[in-house]
Structures are given as structure tokens and as C-alpha cells.
């Protein structure tokens, strides 16, 4: 293999594949990246056996071939080189790196020992969506997801492909967020209606490496998902399990409906959070007059505080406790001046959403005494 690449192009490719590099005592080769030059393109790939990332590197190919070398060493060299043009040549499992004033030999391993990157057949159909739309949807719900060893089915994001809409859903069992993307913002090519759970770590990588200008082609089979752009491929195993049936917990009728200034409520949560110490508990109260929302918190070692906010309130007086950070996470993903905060007493799920937008909602369980 002989190729010529520009330093910035190689650096960008190494950054794209970096997060799936990991130490593995049983498989030391997983600390390596796989470089291949064929007739048409140069690719760099990495895998941790759960997910794999492949990135195309622009460059000139003078001789085809492949090599696998330690990521950390090559990445360190590239980050510290000053020359823009880099010549790479593979011989007998080693990689020779040369610039106008620098040379290095990197000991590699047999490329045939590198794990095979799995493939998905086009027969599974595809789902095409602008990267900017996908990333915006993910960012609205991802903070409701946490990795759980006890419940692996909630350790990822639900991709729910329906006939006319695409839904992204996340939950950690204390809160749940759903974002609905209408059919005007995506295109489905023979992809069957299905639900699948994509691991959180893969989702985090998608958000990190996707360019807003890209179009993303999503392929899914029974055990894997592939996210593909012109220059990038991320393939991942799916999470095996049934995502919780969350329909029954979505509030249908609200006992107390509050339309309130978003920024005031955000400020109230941040101030109240200063007096919660480890508990994180704030109390939201609507009195009999139903004109004021009171946000209160106290700690025996710190003191107490109370914040009053005027609001439009319909329904019953209520007093409920919430984790202020979780409540703030929901507010951050609403971009209107006012929010609808709906409560069902002190023990049933509350809902946060924009007053006139049904495409996103955030459900939060109160803290029970």
C-alpha cells in the first residue's frame, strides 16, 4: 500500500473513528485502526465489536493494500506533525510514514486478524433523513436516556418508524422524552414499519461526527443498524429487548394546567437547586387563587428559598415535588417563550411541552414522600 494524504484529512478521519478504540486484553488488535487503499478510495476503520466506524479519507493511491496499526501512536504522530503532505507505505505489516523532514516506522499487526466489519444488505430497505434534522431530534431526547445494567432495553434510543412519522424516544424510568419527525422531513425507501433500539453510545457518536450538511441513510436488519453518509459509515448492534410501552403514562387529561414563562421557570429551578444539596428536590405549588406558581426548596444545612411566578392556571390546586435537574432538562429542549406544565396531583406523571407544539413532550415522575 502506498498513499499520499493531507494531514488535516487524516486527522479528521482519526478523530471520527477514535471513540470505538478500546483496550481489550483478549483482543489487543482492537487498539488498532484498519487502513485500506483499494482502486477507488482510502478508508480507515475501527471497532469495539459492538459498533464499527469507517471513514473515507481523500488522498492519492499509488499502490493498493491494507495495514492495521496502533491508533494512539499514529494519532499522536499526526497531531504533532507540522508538514501538510504525508506519505504512507505499508510493508510486511508495518507502516512507514514520511514527510519532507520526518520519517517513522510503526509496527503493525497482520491485517487479516482485524475483526471483520459487518455489512447490512440493501434488501432491508433504507430511511433517508438530513443529518441536521436527525441530530436536532436526538438532542431533544437524549438527556432522558441513561445506560442501565439491570434494564438494557432502556440503555438506548427507540427508533420508531411508522407509516407517516418517525419517532425518537428515550427514558431512564424516571422521565421520558419523545420527538416526532413528520414525513415531510424524511424519506423511506421500502423500509418496513418497525421499532428498534439503538445503543446510547452509538447515538452519542452520531451526534458527534455527523455534519449538518450530510444526508443520512439508515439501514436496519434484525440485529444491526447502519448509518451511512457519503464519507462515513457507523454500524452497530441493536439492543435486544422490548422498549417499555409508554403510551399509558402519557397524561390524557390534566388536573392542573400551567402556562408559564419558560425563562422564569428556568431561573426558579436554578435558584432552588442551590438549596437542595444531595436530594435535588424542589416543590412546585399552586394555591387556591390559581394565579401564582410557587417554587420552593430547603435544606437543613443550607437554608431555604421561595420563588413566585405569575402564570395562567386552569384546574386544581396542587403541590408536587420534582428533581430540579430533571425538570430543567425538559425545559432546555423547548424553544418557545412559554411552556405548558401539566400536573396530575403529587404522584402521577407530569408533562412539559410547548403550548402549541405536539411534536415534542417530556414526562417526569414526581418525587414521592
Q: What is the pLDDT of residues 2-19, one digit of tens each?
A: 999 999 999 999 999 999
Claim to verify: residue 31 and residue 86 sit in the same structural domain = yes
Claim to verify: residue 177 and residue 278 sit in the same structural domain = no
Q: Please give the pLDDT value at position 69.
A: 98
Calpha distance 81→140 (Å, rounded): 39
Q: Please give the pLDDT value at position 359.
A: 96
Claim to verify: residue 86 and residue 186 sit in the same structural domain = no
Calpha distance 171→331 (Å, rounded): 16
Confidence tier at 124 by pLDDT (50, 70, 90): low
Pairing of the two strands 350-353 and 165-171: unpaired
Averaged over 239-252, what is the pLDDT? 94
Tens digits of residue pLDDT in 257-316: 999 999 999 999 999 999 997 789 999 999 998 899 999 999 988 999 999 999 999 999
Claim to verify: residue 90 and residue 130 sit in the same structural domain = no
pTM of the model: 0.92
Claim to verify: residue 313 and residue 289 sit in the same structural domain = yes
Residue 67 included in any domain: yes
Claim to verify: residue 163 and residue 83 sit in the same structural domain = no
Number of domains in the chain: 3
Domain boundary (113, 135, 158) is at 113
Query: Are the beta carbons of 69 and 60 closer than 8 angstroms?
Result: no
Joined grid coordinates for residue 234:
457507523
Tens digits of residue pLDDT in 178-201: 999 999 999 887 777 689 999 999
Claim to verify: residue 213 and residue 127 sit in the same structural domain = yes
CATH number, domain of 278, equals 3.10.150.10
Claim to verify: residue 89 and residue 150 sit in the same structural domain = no
Q: Please give the pLDDT value at position 80.
A: 96
Residue 328 included in any domain: yes
Averaged over 42-67, what is the pLDDT? 96
Claim to verify: residue 34 and residue 74 sit in the same structural domain = yes
Confidence tier at 162 by pLDDT (50, 70, 90): confident
Residue 369 included in any domain: no
Q: Which of 254, 265, 278, 251 is nearest to 309 (CA)?
A: 265
Calpha distance 78→236 (Å, rounded): 28
Distance of CA 17 to the CA centre of its chain: 16
Q: Is the pLDDT at 122 greater than 70, yes or no?
A: no
Query: In the predicted model, what is the mean pLDDT of the chain?
Result: 94
How would you class 225 by CB atoms within 10 Å of its CB: exposed for 0-12, middle for 13-18, buried for 19 or more? buried
Claim to verify: residue 146 and residue 178 sit in the same structural domain = yes
Claim to verify: residue 214 and residue 152 sit in the same structural domain = yes
Domain boundary (113, 138, 173) is at 113
Claim to verify: residue 84 and residue 127 sit in the same structural domain = no
Q: Which of 47, 58, 76, 84 is nearest to 3 (CA)?
A: 58
Residue 303 included in any domain: yes
Averaged over 94-122, what is the pLDDT? 93
Q: Please give the pLDDT value at position 221.
A: 87
Q: Please give the pLDDT value at position 39.
A: 84
Residue 329 included in any domain: yes
How would you class 327 by CB atoms within 10 Å of its CB: exposed for 0-12, middle for 13-18, buried for 19 or more? buried
Q: Is the pLDDT at 130 greater than 90, yes or no?
A: yes
Expressed as residue numbers, the domain containing 154 is: 122-237
Residue 59 included in any domain: yes
Joined grid coordinates for residue 301:
444545612
Residue 245 included in any domain: no
Amino acid at each position: 500500500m502506498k498513499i499520499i494524504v493531507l494531514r488535516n484529512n487524516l486527522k479528521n478521519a482519526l478523530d471520527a473513528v477514535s471513540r470505538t478504540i478500546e483496550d481489550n486484553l483478549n483482543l489487543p488488535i482492537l487498539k488498532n485502526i484498519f487502513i485500506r487503499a483499494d482502486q477507488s478510495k482510502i478508508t480507515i476503520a475501527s471497532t469495539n465489536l459492538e459498533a464499527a466506524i469507517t471513514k473515507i479519507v481523500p488522498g492519492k493511491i499509488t499502490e493498493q493494500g491494507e495495514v492495521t496499526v496502533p491508533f494512539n501512536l499514529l494519532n499522536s504522530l499526526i497531531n504533532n506533525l507540522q508538514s501538510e503532505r504525508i506519505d504512507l507505505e505499508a510493508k510486511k505489516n508495518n507502516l512507514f510514514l514520511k514527510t519532507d523532514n520526518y520519517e517513522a516506522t510503526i509496527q503493525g499487526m497482520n491485517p487479516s486478524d482485524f475483526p471483520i466489519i459487518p455489512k447490512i444488505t440493501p434488501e432491508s430497505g433504507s430511511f433517508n433523513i438530513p443529518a441536521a434534522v436527525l441530530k436536532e431530534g436526538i438532542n431533544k431526547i437524549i438527556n432522558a436516556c441513561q445506560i442501565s445494567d439491570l434494564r438494557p432495553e432502556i440503555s438506548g434510543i427507540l427508533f420508531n418508524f411508522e407509516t407517516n412519522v418517525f419517532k425518537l424516544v428515550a427514558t431512564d424510568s424516571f422521565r421520558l422524552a419523545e420527538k416526532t419527525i413528520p414525513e415531510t422531513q424524511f424519506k423511506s425507501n421500502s423500509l418496513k414499519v418497525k421499532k428498534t433500539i439503538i445503543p446510547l453510545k452509538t447515538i452519542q457518536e452520531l451526534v458527534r461526527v455527523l455534519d449538518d450538511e450530510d444526508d443520512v441513510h439508515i439501514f436496519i436488519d434484525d440485529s444491526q443498524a447502519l448509518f451511512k453518509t457519503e464519507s462515513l459509515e457507523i454500524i452497530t448492534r441493536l439492543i435486544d429487548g422490548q422498549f417499555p410501552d409508554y403510551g399509558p403514562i402519557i397524561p390524557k387529561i390534566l388536573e392542573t394546567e400551567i402556562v408559564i414563562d419558560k425563562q422564569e421557570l428556568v431561573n426558579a429551578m436554578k435558584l432552588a437547586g442551590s438549596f437542595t444539596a444531595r436530594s435535588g428536590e424542589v416543590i412546585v405549588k399552586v394555591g387556591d387563587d390559581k394565579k401564582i406558581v410557587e417554587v420552593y426548596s430547603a435544606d437543613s444545612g443550607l437554608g431555604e428559598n421561595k420563588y413566585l411566578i405569575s402564570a395562567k392556571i386552569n384546574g386544581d390546586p396542587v403541590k408536587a415535588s420534582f428533581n430540579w435537574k430533571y425538570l430543567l432538562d425538559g425545559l432546555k429542549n423547548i424553544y418557545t417563550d412559554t411552556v405548558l406544565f401539566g400536573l396530575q396531583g403529587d404522584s402521577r406523571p407530569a408533562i412539559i411541552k410547548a403550548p402549541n407544539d405536539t411534536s415534542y413532550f417530556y414526562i417526569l415522575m414526581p418525587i414521592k414522600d
